[in-house]
Chain A
Amino acid sequence: MSLFFIVALPFFGALLPGLMNSAGRAATAGVTFTVSLAAFLGLLTNLPSVLAGEVVVARVDWMPLLGLNFSLMLDGLGFFFALLILGIGLLIIAYARHYLSRDDNMGQFFTYLLLFQGAMVGIVLSDNILLLLVFWELTSLSSFLLIGYWKHLPEGRQGARMALTVTGMGGLAMIGGMLILGQIVGSYDLSVILQQRDLIQADPMYVPALILILLGCFTKSAQFPFHFWLPHAMAAPTPVSAYLHSATMVKAGIFLMARMWPVLSGTPEWVMIVTSAGLITMVLGAVIGLFKHDLKALLAFSTVSHLGLITMLLGTGTAFGAMAAMFHILNHATFKAALFMSAGIIDHEAHTRDIRRLGGLRKLMPVTFVIASLAALSMAGIPLLNGFLSKEMMLEEAHHTVLFDTPWLVPGLATFGALFSAAYCFRLIGHVFFGPVRDDYPAKPHDPGAGLWLPPAILVSLVVLIGVAPFVAEPFVKLVTASVLGTAAEVPDAHFKIWHGFTPALYMSIIATIGGLVVLALFKPALRLWDAAPRPEAKVIFDAIVAAAVGLARKLILPLHNGAFTRYAAIGSVVIVAVGYHAWTTGTVAPQTRDMLPAGPVPIAGWLMLVVATIGLVFMHRNRFLSLILIGIVGLMVSVGFVFFSAPDLAMTQFTVEVVTIILLLLALNFLPNQTPIESSALRRARDIGVAVIGGLAAFGLSYHFMLRDAVATPISEFHLANSYKGGGGTNVVNVILVDFRGFDTYGEIIVLGIAALLIYALTETLLDGPVRARLLNRKPTHRRAGDEHPMMMVVLTRGIMPVVLMVGFYIFLRGHNDPGGGFIAGLIVSIAVVMQYMASGFGWASARLKYPYHGVIGAGVLIAGLTGIGAWFFGKPFLTSAFTYVRIPPFYKFELATAALFDLGVFLAVVGAVMLSLESFSRLARQATSGPSNEHPMDIDPSRDEDPQETSEKEAV
């Protein structure tokens, strides 16, 4: 079967259990088993090629430019691990079917499990280290989901997060290491990298790469000082512990060290780091494991210890060490998975895993007893079981390894570790199965059905088979070793035998076994010592670190983003000025090319007014009404400035805009207090003054610089000046720019205006739906209201002036193309005409007499402008292309018809609509506040009406 299928099957198969969940537990487990079995059989079809020493490959490009490709390879090492993953996976699935209770969501469980299986197979079959990284992190993620499977248990959630954090950290480090490795070699393909031992080890980046990759391996394989997550991962259901956290996932780091062995190993750094980490882990795990009372915790620490053992073997960098490591991986996977399953059985039947509450199970659970004892004895290294063989090889290798120039160090510690390893194995057997039968088990223990004991039994039969007949495993282990070593070393010709004669290893082994028995005999006093000794609790430290990280992040982030806008703006302004200043100081200043203009009395007077008004604004801004007037002066002076610079269009626009904005602001002021209260401290105001002065000076400097210099090439406005009549049909360049040259900008701007009006409307609506409505209703006017809200004089005057203003607007609109004016200004003028009616007679009265909804006016304006633009399409011209012609209808003089006028009409409508809609929105707020019915008459006092207005209002008051 193609390697792609082997990897893909569990992934795609992972969908099935989730879907089959409602079909029942048997069906769910069945389909999961089938998927795994198919992958397993697919793997076996490749066995002949692997045995023949071939490397099976499969490759599809994924990200060729990066060098990340979906390339897989299957050699002895990959086959060995894939076999473990899929083979033990099958047993685990069968076991989990019976282990999970009816309350557990089995579909979810198997989905996660298959995801993990696929990822794990992916790791061991990857021929591309980036692809390997992908699968690597996927195993961390699926492990996260599986540890947290029992969501209601805090241990599960915390253990899951701890495992994800630690292995995730390692994974990230490994990303760095792998990328460096790829950059050194120039390829991310393992098959290429593995050929480049000398190149890699000579590179100055070798050590960083090595450390980063080892960080990944050590975290994954729970090596000291990252071992602490593994015991906490035991909160997962036992099948997960057996599968991920003893047999497969935690061996991923070891797999990778073996995979990279030909190119990374052998250097002093490698030996130093890997061997010592392995040794410490081995001893530490064994000692802690002995004193754990939770069966799974004991097994977890024993796993840590054995992973350390394997790591140490790989660290020695010899071919024999590598072979011993491979052999022990096989042996450990068999006996440890069997032990975990046994622990699960005990937990399942006795409802406790606490060794102190167990004992005497030998008689109650004979089958489990046999299975667990054989596996435990193998772990202790008792002859005729497979653990003995690889432990002998380990001790042999340790005997030859020298670390820190101290010959006794490695063998001594290895023996010490083996001693404790034997001790906890004996304790497991002795304290759980031997001893008197108790009467206080939480549940009555008995042997489970075959579904639970058969899977471990199969594993234990392997334990015995290899232990009795090691030559069965020898060719296979040597094949695997050969693919680990690659071209870096020869496979050693040592044979797997039970009896090697009286070797140092045998003596060490005997010391360990006897010592183990002695320690067990002294267990009680030893436990007292242990409990009395102060020990760092990894979880407490880890939680403290995480809490500190969260606390630090909160201290840094939250106060900085607490919504204080002035600080945001201050930081922003200072940064902008600073960056601009940096650009200024690194540039070169050209001499000025323009002379200063002489300043006459008029400009100086205008300038003074501007300055005085602005300074006044700064000091009097707390009086809102006054500041509005001052703003008006500023606006007016800007308009005058435009006139002075011969820009009548801009002046007219500015002027009308001023009028409209001041009216709208007046309406808004109606809802605001008269005074702005002082809210910020003097210090903060000083800061703000400083920032404002700096910003102002910067703006001044920049403007001053540019005013004295010409552009590097002729400005494009020359073209506009030259062509506005010829090409745009108008002599008013500003208008032609607005509606023709850059009509598209205008199109955008009228849309901005329209959106603004829609926004004000929408805002008003939502305000009136919310708490603001109540506030408005309860609002007490601060001033005495005028007795005459709609004065007669004003009504009469505005009515009379209305047609005149409309006419002016019309005139301004038409003349716009050739003289100052245009749709925008006309729109504002007409708006003012209408606004005056509203001011005089109130909004209710006026709007009742208006036929067109303002929304519609805006929409129509934008649409007309757009349709004018599209009109050009029918003549094969781009959007907004203008056309004009001159017609003469007697008796009139010849006049111009331009499509630009139609566009200007759209502008006009959008402006009118936008202004009026904004006004309407404000007035809605106002009417909500006064809460009275809108006036039905244009003015309060009307001599022609019979009714006395005084009475009307009294009636209303009643």
Chain B
Amino acid sequence: MSHWIAAPIILPAFVAPFIVLSARYHIGIQRVLSVFGVLALIVIAASLALDASDGTITLYQMGDWAAPFGIVLVGDKLSTMMVLLTAVLALFVLLYAIGSGWDNRGWHFHALFQFQLMGIMGAFLTGDLFNLFVFFEVLLIASYGLMIHAGGTKRLKAGVQYVLFNLIGSTLFLFALGSIYAETGTLNMADLANRVALIGADETVGIRVAAVLLLMVFAIKAALVPLHFWLPSSYAEAPAPVAALFAIMTKVGAYAIIRVYTMIFSPQLEATAGLFDVWLLPAALVSLALGMLGVLAAKKLDRLVAFAVIGSMGMVMISIALFTPAGIAAALYYIVHSTFAGAALFLISDLVRSSRANVDLTAQPVMSGNALTAGLFFVGAIAMAGLPPLSGFLGKLLILDAAYDSDLMVWIWVVVLSSSLVSILGFARAGSILFWKAHSVPAPDGTEPMPSPSPLSYVAVGGLITLLAAHTVFAGQVHGYTSTIAAQLFTPEPYISTVVETPGKLSTPKGDH
């Protein structure tokens, strides 16, 4: 049997303890192991995505126990795409961490990085809600470790808020899981889909509360306003490569919402109808507006990017909240875009920090490496603000197009377009102050110029920008693929039957329930 589907979780789960066990004093060895681990992940993820691209659903029964009794991993188009996205992002982030020396400014960067990858991969691949909780814990604790990497008062303070808010989320997750188990007696997603359909119209209250509590958990992860408060300061204060890796973390929330609400708590189902369509879309619109206003309001570049991430999650959530195949397809296209764009901007913000000592949006003398950094910022800002020709614009078109038939079409269009304007204003302001106005500020005498960022740092950022360009050029192919993903999500029967009907140890198809 093939074990590849488990490899994205197991590989980093071996690399990390191995680093802790034998290489914790040798940064060089750690780097080599970490980079090779991520390279291998990319290869594995690519082959998994290729396997899934024809609609195959790969099932992996942990411990040979059949669902719903044991834990299963499921690889379909959506999960393998997210795995691949994570692996690719991780490579460039890792290169930047090495190039900038961030990984050597505290302890256990690479081990935590690998554990973090394990958690993210697990969250994408698991077919079991409790196991999802476990992976949320893994990625939460690892991300906390990464967030406070290298210390500093502000960072530690932000880290405490980050971990506390997410612990609220974890507690809520347990409440949701308890409710779901009490109501249905299972935690496997596919089995859950079958059992939720059994719930009669006269006893819906339990599953309804459970469904929204779960949604709130994911909404916290996805930084949906007003559950986003943990994000701005923690992303801004986190070391740049960590913040860049976190670009995928908000997407874990979005992924989970897509997964759970297309398969289990579908709005088409009587028991779960009218639950979140009432407020999810408005909340997403507020997220977008608030995020882009934050871009305009920010006094520091790193917070500006953090707010842009909130705004872009708003875009994703708007598109998800439409809950149509076109909406999901657009959301997935946008997820890829916003992951790379957000990561690139965090790294660019760090390029600025490392060449002028701070990221305040005030005029200061020209920084070292100004022209190149400015160019990268310009491209990254174009992408994030959704200006042509980059993928942000195409994603925006897709979302607007998908929203045309929505009841709230006017609201969506007005908010999306006007928040774009606000973000253009914000990014233009920031870029003009950072890179142009600097030319009118003379350098004080006798100060040594800061060293330019290392070439490897630029390679990493350039790589992300190149990915954005590729995401634009091959937009047709990518969007075509995300459309087939959406189609697969909206016909969950093959997924469900694969999971539930495959026999395992001591159980025959369809079980004994």
Contacts and interface: CB of A to CB of B under 8 A. Distances in A.
Interface of A: 61-66, 68, 130, 133-138, 141, 144-145, 148, 151-154, 156-157, 160-161, 164-165, 168-169, 172-173, 175-176, 179, 183, 546, 549-550, 553-554, 556-558, 561, 563, 565, 568-569, 571-573, 575-576, 579-580, 582-584, 586-590, 699, 702-703, 705-707, 709, 711-720, 723, 726-727, 740-745, 747-749, 751-752, 754-756, 758-759, 761-763, 765-767, 769-771, 855-856, 858-863, 866, 869-870, 872-873, 876-882
Interface in B112-169: 112, 115, 118, 122, 130-131, 134-135, 137-138, 141-142, 144-145, 148-153, 156-158, 160-161, 164-165, 168
Contacts of A563: 157-158, 161, 233
Given A144-B428, A712-B183, A878-B1, A154 B440 contact: yes
A164 B428 contact: yes
Contacts of A706: 178-179, 182-183, 206
B184 interface: yes
B397 A130 contact: yes
Contact of B203 (A569, A590, A703, A762): A590
Contacts of A761: 107-108
A583 B108 contact: no
B274 interface: yes
A53 B232 CA distance: 59
Contacts of A862: 13, 16-17
Given A584-B209, A748-B137, A568 B161 contact: yes
Contact of B151 (A168, A179, A740, A770): A770
Interface stretch (B42-50, B336-344, B416-424): B416-424
A430 to B, nearest CB: 37
Contacts of A876: 1
Nearest to B394: A63
B10 A879 contact: yes
10 contacts: A553-B422, A557-B293, A583-B211, A587-B207, A587-B209, A588-B202, A590-B205, A711-B182, A741-B63, A859-B17
B203 A878 contact: no
A569 B168 contact: yes
A715 B63 contact: no
Contacts of A878: 1, 3, 6, 60-64
B204 A63 contact: no
Given A65-B480, A568-B229, A762 B145 contact: yes
Given A157-B436, A879-B6, A137 B388 contact: yes
A70 to B, nearest CB: 9
Nearest to B271: A587
B400 interface: yes
Nearest to A161: B428
Nearest to A910: B17
Contacts of A68: 394, 397, 475
A304 B229 CA distance: 47
Given A588-B202, A770-B151, A583 B185 contact: no
Contact of A575 (B226, B290, B297, B424): B226
A744 B421 contact: no
Contacts of A748: 122, 131, 134-135, 137-138
Contacts of B152: 766, 770
Central interface residue in B145, B165, B329, by most chain A CB within 10 Å: B145
Contacts of A136: 388
Contacts of A582: 212, 278-279
Contacts of A130: 397
A702 B137 CA distance: 24
| Interface-central residue, A565, A569, A872, by most chain B CB under 10 Å | A565
Interface-central residue, B134, B172, B188, by most chain A CB under 10 Å:
B134
A237 B479 CA distance: 41
Given A709-B183, A749-B134, 14 more contacts: A63-B479, A151-B439, A172-B418, A553-B422, A569-B168, A584-B205, A706-B178, A712-B185, A713-B186, A716-B513, A745-B134, A755-B141, A759-B144, A877-B64
A179 B401 contact: yes
A747 B134 CA distance: 9
Interface in B482-503: 483
Contacts of A183: 401, 404
Given A168-B421, A572-B226, A715 B181 contact: yes
Nearest to A69: B476
B111 interface: yes
B208 interface: yes
B36 interface: no
B3 A568 contact: no
Contacts of A699: 175
A719 B153 CA distance: 51
A668 B36 CA distance: 39
Contacts of B206: 587, 590, 705-706, 709
Contacts of B144: 759
Contact of A588 (B63, B160, B191, B203): B203
A795 to B, nearest CB: 32
Contacts of B387: 137, 141, 168
Nearest to B382: A141
A569 B166 CA distance: 10
A716 B513 CA distance: 8
Contact of A740 (B63, B164, B187): B63
Contact of A572 (B137, B213, B229, B396): B229
A741 B65 contact: yes
A64 B483 CA distance: 12
Contacts of A770: 151-153
Nearest to B424: A168
A573 B168 contact: yes
Contact of B204 (A568, A588, A742): A588
Given A755-B142, A755-B145, A63 B69 contact: no
A565 B161 contact: yes
A771 B400 CA distance: 51
Contact of B138 (A66, A752, A769): A752
Contacts of B376: none
Contact of A866 (B17, B71, B213, B440): B17
A766 B151 contact: yes
A940 to B, nearest CB: 33
Contacts of A877: 1, 64
B112 to A, nearest CB: 7
B227 interface: yes
A589 B96 CA distance: 54
Contacts of A145: 378
A911 B507 CA distance: 33
Nearest to A864: B17
A755 B145 CA distance: 8
Interface in B16-30: 16-22, 24
A879 B480 contact: no
Given A744-B62, A758-B111, A858-B17, A549 B398 contact: no
Given A66-B401, A165-B421, A706-B182, A176 B63 contact: no
Nearest to A208: B410
Given A557-B307, A573-B168, A152 B439 contact: yes
Interface stretch (B75-83, B193-201, B255-263, B352-360): B193-201
A926 B301 CA distance: 38
B13 A758 contact: no
B296 interface: yes
B377 interface: no
Contacts of B274: 586
Given A572-B220, A713-B198, A763 B421 contact: no
Contact of B425 (A160, A549, A727, A741): A549
A144 B429 CA distance: 12
Nearest to B423: A168
B432 interface: yes
Given A575-B226, A878-B3, A65 B476 contact: yes
Contact of A160 (B22, B68, B432): B432
Contacts of B510: none
